[in-house]
């Protein structure tokens, strides 16, 4: 009986571990907060990690090696000594490239509108039906965003249901007074990212993300010349994006994640191809011009 019970418990634990979607590394830093009670930050870090790992965010079953690698780095800038926190949250996710050990950053953001309440030992609760807390809503939002980008990179528009879930988080948060959820808070926030991901204006960029990864990066190990050509054929799409549009968050985040990688991909191209790529990237993303200028060097 004891052996059967042990086997049952082991199986249950294995099922729960396998049910996770995210391989989330969570870190909470507070270098500017003067306090002798550093335990609160360790408690917060543990609660955030357990929140992300303890929930089923997708409809699919993920094997351990299929979990999405992601990082949540919370920099606490102020704490009132009780339950009120202010800080910035850096979120990053990556996906593996076929037949290689290389992992490609697919999403990265520094969210500066992170205010929340938390008490030591508190369990972070979340419901997709209503707004319960800002901390849980922010983490749930980014969990869905991470899944959406990952799915988009493996299947054309595969991330749509997860971006819709993120939009639901935004809608529920409209009842809160916290920043980052509303259109008028600023032109670069959670509201606008979610709006962009559901806006037909940026459907070409989502299609590019699929083509770039599946018919570009994933072919690089076996046939780099074909992979580069496939990516090059898609680059004109990036020049057509309206980056002057109010709340044009998605293009900015794309180039933040991919500008260095694009330079590396075409660093082995011919001088003529490099020149063409440089002109296209400079037109699409002038803010990263100094990076793309590396393509002008032979």
> Any idea of the CA torsion for 260, 264, 270, 272, to the nearest 10 degrees?
-10
Provide the sign of the torsion angle of the four alpha carbons 73, 77, 80, 86, taken in this order: negative
CA-based nearest residue to 280, from 252, 249, 238, 250: 238
More confident residue, 3 or 92: 92
More confident residue, 20 or 280: 280
CA-based nearest residue to 65, from 96, 107, 27: 96
Q: Please report which confidence band the pLDDT of residue 147 belongs to, taking 50, 70 and 90 as the band edges.
A: very high
pLDDT of residue 7: 36
pLDDT of residue 18: 44
Neighbours of 47 (CB within 10 A): 22
Domain segments of the chain as ranges: 16-167, 199-298
Cα separation, 117 vs 105, whole angstroms: 30
Residues 6+ apart with CB under 8 A from 271: 298
3-state SS, residue 248: coil
Both tokens of residue 75?
């920099």
Are 86 and 117 within 8 A, CB to CB? no
Share the mean pLDDT of the chain.
92
Name the strand (E) or helix (H) holding 105. Answer: strand 103-117
Q: Please report which confidence band the pLDDT of residue 298 belongs to, taking 50, 70 and 90 as the band edges.
A: low
Mean pLDDT value of segment 180-188: 95
Are 109 and 90 within 8 A, CB to CB? yes
Cα separation, 266 vs 294, whole angstroms: 10
Q: What is the pTM of this model?
A: 0.92
pLDDT of residue 2: 36
Mean pLDDT value of segment 135-162: 98
Both tokens of residue 11?
């199986």
Whether residue 3 has pLDDT greater than 90: no
């Amino acid at each position: 009986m004891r052996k059967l019970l042990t086997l049952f418990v082991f199986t249950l634990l294995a099922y729960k571990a396998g049910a996770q979607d995210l391989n989330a590394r969570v870190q909470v830093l507070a270098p500017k907060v003067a306090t002798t009670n550093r335990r609160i930050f360790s408690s917060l870090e543990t609660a955030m990690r357990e929140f992300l790992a303890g929930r089923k965010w997708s409809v699919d079953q993920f094997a351990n090696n299929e979990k999405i690698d992601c990082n949540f780095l919370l920099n606490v800038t102020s704490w009132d000594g009780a339950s009120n926190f202010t800080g910035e949250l850096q979120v990053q996710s990556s996906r593996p490239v076929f037949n290689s050990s290389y992992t490609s950053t697919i999403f990265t953001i520094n969210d500066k509108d992170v205010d929340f309440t938390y008490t030591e030992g508190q369990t972070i609760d979340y419901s997709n039906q209503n707004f319960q807390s800002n901390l849980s809503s922010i983490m749930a939002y980014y969990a869905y965003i991470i899944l959406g980008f990952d799915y988009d990179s493996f299947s054309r528009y595969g991330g749509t249901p997860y971006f819709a879930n993120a939009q639901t988080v935004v809608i529920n948060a409209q009842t809160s007074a916290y920043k980052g959820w509303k259109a008028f808070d600023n032109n670069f926030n959670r509201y606008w990212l979610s709006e962009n991901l559901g806006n037909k204006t940026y459907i070409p960029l989502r299609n590019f993300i699929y083509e770039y990864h599946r018919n570009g990066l994933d072919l690089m190990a076996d046939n780099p010349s074909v992979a580069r050509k496939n990516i090059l054929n898609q680059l004109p799409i990036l020049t057509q994006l309206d980056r002057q549009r109010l709340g044009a968050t998605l293009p900015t985040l794309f180039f933040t994640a991919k500008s260095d990688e694009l330079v590396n991909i075409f660093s082995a191209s011919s001088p003529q191809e490099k020149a063409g790529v440089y002109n296209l990237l400079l037109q699409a993303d002038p803010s990263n011009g100094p990076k793309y200028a590396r393509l002008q060097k032979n």
